[in-house]
């Protein structure tokens, strides 16, 4: 971001601008984001997930609701996201609350996945102990035999929409005098914008 350049009024519009630029420059998975959740006793947990949708309602990802992150979100729906694009020297931090997407949204995205990924959703007991990889491969073979044609979406596999309350857009600048712009959502839903010291 050149010195003096202003950001969009809407954080979602600014997010789309930066994501479009990342899609042109990042060699793989520009939609990769770190997702931080917390256990009921406050222990943080972090992993990388792929963003699968964004609009003015929020940002969407899909997973097994019975996974570790699913359990943590069931107990505490507050979470944080981080996008970092090294080639652009940019990052976006987002804080908010997760809610489930609709069944129709989950069905639509699930149907778009490769066949093996859909079977994998049935075969994998995500986040649970695995004795050895042969067990997973055996379960995958069982699912291939069970579902030779249509593969229904498991009830425990769904999506989350992150409803943001705060965005921070960070742009590296010379001499570590970085540019930091924060958007905060007010009680009436309007977004305010301010700057932070680097």
Which sequence spans correspond to the domains of the chain? 11-113+155-196
Helix or strand or coil: residue 84? strand
Is 161 known to be catalytic? no
**Which of 192, 194, 195, 186 lies closest to 10 in space, CA to CA?**
192
- Asked: is 11-113+155-196 a CATH 2.30.110.10 domain? The reply is yes
Look at residue 189 in the predicted model and tell me its pLDDT.
92
Higher-confidence position of 41 and 195: 195
% residues pLDDT > 90 (the chain): 92
Look at residue 187 in the predicted model and tell me its pLDDT.
93
Predicted confidence (pLDDT) per residue in 74-99, tens digit = 999 999 999 999 999 999 999 999 99
Q: What is the mean pLDDT of residues 2-11?
A: 78
Structure tokens, 29: 């998975």
In contact, 5 and 179? CB cutoff 8 Å: no
In contact, 48 and 35? CB cutoff 8 Å: yes
Catalytic option among 43, 131, 133, 176: 176
Burial of 94 (0-12, 13-18, 19+ CB in 10 A): buried
Predicted confidence (pLDDT) per residue in 104-119, tens digit = 999 999 999 999 999 9
Q: What is the mean pLDDT of residues 32-48?
A: 95
Look at residue 6 in the predicted model and tell me its pLDDT.
83
Q: Which residue is listed with tokens 């409803």? A: 163
Using pLDDT thresholds of 50, 70 and 90, give the confidence band for residue 27: confident
% residues pLDDT > 70 (the chain): 97
Using pLDDT thresholds of 50, 70 and 90, give the confidence band for residue 172: very high
Structure tokens, 168: 């921070």
Tell me the backbone φ, ψ of residue 52, rounded to 5 degrees: -115, -5
CA 134 to chain centre: 30
Q: What is the pTM of this model?
A: 0.92
Using pLDDT thresholds of 50, 70 and 90, give the confidence band for residue 19: very high
Q: What stretch of H or E contains 121?
A: helix 115-123
Burial 9-18 (b: 16+ CB within 10 A, else e): eebbebbeeb
* In the predicted structure, residue 2 carries a pLDDT above the cut 60: no
* In the predicted structure, residue 3 carries a pLDDT above the cut 70: no
Using pLDDT thresholds of 50, 70 and 90, give the confidence band for residue 40: confident
Q: What is the mean pLDDT of residues 56-69?
A: 96
Query: Which residues 6+ apart lie within 8 Å of 45 measured at CB?
Result: 36, 37, 38, 39, 68, 69, 72
Predicted confidence (pLDDT) per residue in 108-150, tens digit = 999 999 999 999 999 999 989 999 999 999 999 999 999 999 9
Helix or strand or coil: residue 139? helix
């Amino acid at each position: 971001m050149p010195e003096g350049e202003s950001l969009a009024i809407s954080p979602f519009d600014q997010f789309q601008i930066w994501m479009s630029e990342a899609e042109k420059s990042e060699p793989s998975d520009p939609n990769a984001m770190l997702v931080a959740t917390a256990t009921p006793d406050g222990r943080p947990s972090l992993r990388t997930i792929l963003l699968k949708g964004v609009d003015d309602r929020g940002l969407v990802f899909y997973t097994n609701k019975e996974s570790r992150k699913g359990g943590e979100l069931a107990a505490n729906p507050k979470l944080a996201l981080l996008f970092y694009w090294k080639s652009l020297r940019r990052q976006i931090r987002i804080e908010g609350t997760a809610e489930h997407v609709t069944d129709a949204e989950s069905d639509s995205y699930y149907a778009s996945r490769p066949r093996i990924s859909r079977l994998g959703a049935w075969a994998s007991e995500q986040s649970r102990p695995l004795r050895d990889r042969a067990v997973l491969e055996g379960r995958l073979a069982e699912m291939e035999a069970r579902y030779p044609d249509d593969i229904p979406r498991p009830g425990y596999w769904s999506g989350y929409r992150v409803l943001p309350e705060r965005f921070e857009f960070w742009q590296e600048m010379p001499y570590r005098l970085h540019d930091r712009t924060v958007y905060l959502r007010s009680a009436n839903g309007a977004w305010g914008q301010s700057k932070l010291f680097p």
